[in-house]
Amino acid sequence: MDMRLILLGPPGAGKGTQAKLLAEKFNIQQISTGDILRQAVKNKTKMGLKAKSYMDQGKLVPDNVVIGIIKDRLDNADCSKGFILDGFPRTIQQAESLSQALKQMEIDIDHLIDIEIGFDYLIRRLTGRWTCRECGEGYHKMSNPPKKKGVCDKCDGELYQRDDDKEETIQKRFEVYRKETEPLKDYYQKNGKLNAIKGDGGIQEIFSRITNLIT
């Protein structure tokens, strides 16, 4: 089945996890802008070299360069059966540029899925994450706690909480999301393809909601 999807939702909603599961189920490509940006730089493509020039100066890569890298990726034969855009677009401006690029390439998006999740639930989900300093094993105090508090089951290493998983950091990320990314809902609502699903519950539960929606 050909399938072209865009996943939206706040940080921590599980977009990356769901994109991976959907890519496997439908045999389509998961396209994370961070991954393809790094790959383009590594491969020294024309757009990759442009991106590197900004990155070397510590600057954000401009939208037009990111869009160029996305277009290059979508031109690959392995995207002919479909793809999932994970983590892009994040702003109205990016969405407009992406729509223009897809129109030029004669590509239609089949489904735009918004994973809705409340801030309080998000806080509980994200602040419960702990990581082993030694082996990198991940734990969650609610869904996957270690046998001994603060100690890794695998290597007895110390568990710590990453800065990204601290409440003040999550609060800032969520504020940026509300200001810059949440308006995308209204933007995409106009084309009639935006559907929202509840983002609470387990990974497979959320996955089932998405697949029921798009099949």
Catalytic residues: 15, 90, 129, 162, 173
SS3 content of the chain, % helix, strand, coil (to 5): 50, 20, 30
Euclidean distance between CA atoms 141 and 79, whole angstroms: 38
Euclidean distance between CA atoms 43 and 77, whole angstroms: 17
Contact 193, 109 (CB under 8 A): yes
Euclidean distance between CA atoms 115 and 83, whole angstroms: 18
Measuring CA to CA, which residue among 168, 145, 150, 148 is closest to residue 160?
150
Tell me how far CA of residue 67 lies from CA of 49, 76, 167, in angstroms.
14, 15, 32
Measuring CA to CA, which residue among 12, 31, 79, 24 is closest to residue 207?
24
Supply 36's token pair.
Answer: 């393809």
